[in-house]
């Protein structure tokens, strides 16, 4: 009888795991049919590499309206991965949304934003040497987030939006499993709940002053999240135990994909999942999501470090591949603790091809976290390159009733955008 009960319990657990995970056999077959030995090795070990993939097929009607269909491979919102810099995407969007509520004070995304300090470990910002006018602004921070995934720019927008608004707004939009609890600087949980006072100014005149804020809302940390077999702590000591991610940021792949979709194709999501952005905001986002570091004058980047594919994992980052001029990638990546994530909208203007690809993989063969020894170059970036190429080749051959008009996503990157809206 005990054996029977045990078998029934195993069956129930197996059914629950299967129910949580989304996989389309067609997508898996497509990848396996065209996979190299390295990619097959990864595909055969989902529990080792923790990979998840979403391929979003886009079909236009005769009025150029898009219809989207997602195909999944091992997508499980309950399987934790560290989202790293992908949390900068909603933070940037909510910063633009918030700045639009301050128009009555004469404030917009280009207005000078001065950050003060009011709590332990907070820091001030009064200038930005990478900006044309040497002054910080929401617009310039957003630009740096998408060009090179700048950490300080994220921290400043996290402070502007505030931890409470950041999470509450995302929960209201339906992203209940998402939580953004920390800056990308060493702070404890309590310090991250406190955000800085901020002033928006014009020629030294204060247009709007935002006081320091504190988030009293509780987070659900009831699910323990442990990863790896060992890790280095903040004192650089090796701890022979898994690393605890229980209170870290959490951002399921489906949520990241949905948020990017809501920016690229706002008409395809319910009104409640759209960010309150202007047409100027959308054009600003498309421009800097797709612009390459070497095409920027402010900031001016060292392209030996910030090469063209620095934040373009699908297709291009492996081997620092050159990006053809007729292809643009509108995306946000993240990398930390052996996890690589990319959520992208990919456009080929020459062949009139468009699709979305979203993926995450864990590449940490020694099982030690925080040692900066991950298999990004050997396995991670090649995984993204090959998956991207397989889907792209399929898209080139896939019949379409109507070819897309992609004019909305074309930019002259040699010209700076206006700074008055």
**Mean predicted confidence (pLDDT) in 297-321:** 95
Residue 7 has pLDDT above 60, yes or no: no
Q: How many domains does the chain have?
A: 1
**What phi, psi does 404 have (nearest 5°)?**
-75, 145
For residue 1, the model assigns a pLDDT of: 41
Residue 272 sits in a domain whose CATH number is 3.40.710.10
The structure tokens 């280009």 sit at 110
For residues 13 and 67, the answer to whether their CB atoms sit within 8 Å is no
Per the domain annotation, does 421 fall within a domain? no
Per the domain annotation, does 380 fall within a domain? yes
Residue 12 has pLDDT above 80, yes or no: no
Per the domain annotation, does 16 fall within a domain? no
Residue 140 — very low, low, confident or very high, per pLDDT cuts 50/70/90? very high
**What phi, psi does 239 have (nearest 5°)?**
-110, 120
**What phi, psi does 198 have (nearest 5°)?**
-140, 140
CB-based burial, 285-323: b 16+ in 10 Å, e otherwise: bbbbbbbbbeebeebebeeeebbbbbbbbbbbbbeeeee
For residue 421, the model assigns a pLDDT of: 55
For residue 5, the model assigns a pLDDT of: 43
Closest CA to 332 of 288, 293, 389, 294: 288
Q: How many CA atoms lie within 13 A of 106 on its CB side?
A: 11
Rg (CA), the chain: 22
Residue 209 has pLDDT above 90, yes or no: yes
For residue 416, the model assigns a pLDDT of: 77
The DSSP element (H or E) to which 165 belongs, if any, is helix 163-172
Residue 420 — very low, low, confident or very high, per pLDDT cuts 50/70/90? low
pLDDT per residue as tens digits for the range 266-285: 999 999 999 999 999 999 99
Per the domain annotation, does 10 fall within a domain? no
Per the domain annotation, does 405 fall within a domain? yes
**How much helix, strand and coil, in percent to the nearest 5, is found in the chain?**
40, 20, 40
**Mean predicted confidence (pLDDT) in 54-77:** 98
Residue 141 has pLDDT above 70, yes or no: yes
pLDDT per residue as tens digits for the range 362-402: 999 999 999 999 999 999 999 999 999 999 999 999 999 99
Residue 101 has pLDDT above 60, yes or no: yes
Residue 62 belongs to domain spanning:
24-409
Strand partners, 198: 115, 210
Per the domain annotation, does 17 fall within a domain? no
Per the domain annotation, does 109 fall within a domain? yes
DSSP-derived letter for residue 237 is -
For residue 20, the model assigns a pLDDT of: 75
Residue 110 — very low, low, confident or very high, per pLDDT cuts 50/70/90? very high
How much of the chain exceeds pLDDT 90, in percent? 93
Structure tokens belonging to residue 357: 């690809």
How much of the chain exceeds pLDDT 70, in percent? 95
Residue 122 — very low, low, confident or very high, per pLDDT cuts 50/70/90? very high
Per the domain annotation, does 419 fall within a domain? no
């Amino acid at each position: 009888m005990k054996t029977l009960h045990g078998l029934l319990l195993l069956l129930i657990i197996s059914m629950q795991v299967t129910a949580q995970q989304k996989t389309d056999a067609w997508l898996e077959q497509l990848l396996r049919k065209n996979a190299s030995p390295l990619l097959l090795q990864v595909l055969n070990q989902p529990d080792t590499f923790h990979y998840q993939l979403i391929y979003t097929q886009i079909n236009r009607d005769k009025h150029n309206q898009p219809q989207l269909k997602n195909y999944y491979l091992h997508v499980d919102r309950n399987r934790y991965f560290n989202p790293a810099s992908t949390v900068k995407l909603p933070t940037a969007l909510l910063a633009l949304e918030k700045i639009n509520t301050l128009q009555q004070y004469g404030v917009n995304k280009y207005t000078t934003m001065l950050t003060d300090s009011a709590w332990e470990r907070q820091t001030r910002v009064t200038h930005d040497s990478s900006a044309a006018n040497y002054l910080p602004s929401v617009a310039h921070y957003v630009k740096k987030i998408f060009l090179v995934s700048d950490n300080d720019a994220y921290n400043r927008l996290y402070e502007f939006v505030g931890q409470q608004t950041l999470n509450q707004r995302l929960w209201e939009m339906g992203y209940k499993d998402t939580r953004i609890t920390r800056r990308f600087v060493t702070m404890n949980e309590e310090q991250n709940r406190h955000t800085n006072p901020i002033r928006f100014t014009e020629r030294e005149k204060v247009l709007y002053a935002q006081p320091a804020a504190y988030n009293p809302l509780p987070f659900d940390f009831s699910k323990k999240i442990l990863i790896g077999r060992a890790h280095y702590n903040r004192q650089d000591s090796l701890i022979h135990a898994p690393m605890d991610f229980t209170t870290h940021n959490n951002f399921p792949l489906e949520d990241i994909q949905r948020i990017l979709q809501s920016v690229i194709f706002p008409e395809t999501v319910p009104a409640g999942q759209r960010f309150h952005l202007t047409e100027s905001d959308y054009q600003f986002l498309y421009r800097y999501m797709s612009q390459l570091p070497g095409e920027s004058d402010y900031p001016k980047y060292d392209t030996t470090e910030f090469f063209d594919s620095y934040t373009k994992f699908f297709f291009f980052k492996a081997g620092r591949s050159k990006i053809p001029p007729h292809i643009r990638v509108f995306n946000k990546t993240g990398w930390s603790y052996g996890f690589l994530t990319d959520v992208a909208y990919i456009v080929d203007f020459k062949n009139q091809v468009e699709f979305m690809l979203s993926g995450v993989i864990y590449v940490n063969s020694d099982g030690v976290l925080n040692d900066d020894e991950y298999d990004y170059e050997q396995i991670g970036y090649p995984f993204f390159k090959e998956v991207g190429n397989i889907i792209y080749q399929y898209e080139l051959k896939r019949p379409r009733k109507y070819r897309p008009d992609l004019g909305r996503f074309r930019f002259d990157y040699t010209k700076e955008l206006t700074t008055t809206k």
